[in-house]
Structure 1
């Protein structure tokens, strides 16, 4: 008798298969960044700017850890701190020209994989997938 599939097994398999396929492409990039650095850059890329507090919440890391991560990205000339016009006590984090160009390449690689990944899946099914994935993530964040 076959066992019922579980959500975490399906999510793990999808994550693992995707990482196996995309890793060689990302490995060809001139700069190797840690996953947390890429997540931080994605947050800044998506919002066009971010604060340390926003990054800390997104990455679910304390402010000290995120400060060190941002310091590393700044030393690599991928991210820069600029004055926050809405709050003189804080800085906004933005991608530098080098960081922007690097992340454009990441987006191109991911777009190719996205086409491969979603081949044969209808827009309606993808909409349901995103809705379910968002709900699963929200449930995980609110657990406990």
Structure 2
């Protein structure tokens, strides 16, 4: 239940303001290296193209992403992060690093190994 509550809570990442988990995970899936095709983004997030379009619309309203026509194929769109979107991406990365630092300071090496095995099994189960 705690995880379900956390998955619904917006959090602030850098100058981006409050973002839902689906918004920050979309930003994370886009990444900072450049743009990604909308169809590829849907695949990365394992959601429909329609769902990605809705999230991208919200992120555009917040000035976190921009859409540009694909110069190689006019039927497709490339999504990339704005500077504020990149700031949110970095803040999200830093939050994860802080979590891992905190976790490793509280667990010994054997506990970390067990934790990683449990996470791997959980992820495998959830992908079924």
Structure 2 length-normalised TM: 0.70
2:88 to 102, 126, 136: 102
Distance 1:29 1:137, change over 3 A: same
CA RMSD of aligned residues (A): 3.4
Whether 2:24 is the aligned partner of 1:44: answer: no
For residues 55-114 of structure 1, the C-alpha deviation after alignment (integer angstroms, 9 at most, x for no partner) is 223333322221011011112110111233443321111110111122222222322222
CA–CA separation in structure 1 for the residues paired with 2:54 and 2:80: 16
* Secondary structure of residue in 1 paired with 2:36: coil
CA contact (8 A) 2:13 2:91 kept: no
The structure having more radius of gyration, on CA atoms, is 1
CA contact (8 A) 2:24 2:92 kept: no
More off after superposition, 105-114 vs 37-46: 105-114
The structure with higher relative contact order (CA 8 Å, sep 6+) is 2
CA–CA separation in structure 1 for the residues paired with 2:13 and 2:123: 31
Whether 2:73 is the aligned partner of 1:114: answer: no
What 5-or-longer segments of structure 1 have no aligned partner? 1-11
Whether 2:24 is the aligned partner of 1:35: answer: no
What 5-or-longer segments of structure 2 have no aligned partner? none
Structure 1 length-normalised TM: 0.64
* Secondary structure of residue in 1 paired with 2:73: coil
CA–CA separation in structure 2 for the residues paired with 1:27 and 1:56: 24
How many pairs does the alignment contain? 124
CA contact (8 A) 2:66 2:80 kept: yes
CA–CA separation in structure 2 for the residues paired with 1:121 and 1:46: 33
* Secondary structure of residue in 2 paired with 1:110: helix
Whether 2:45 is the aligned partner of 1:59: answer: yes
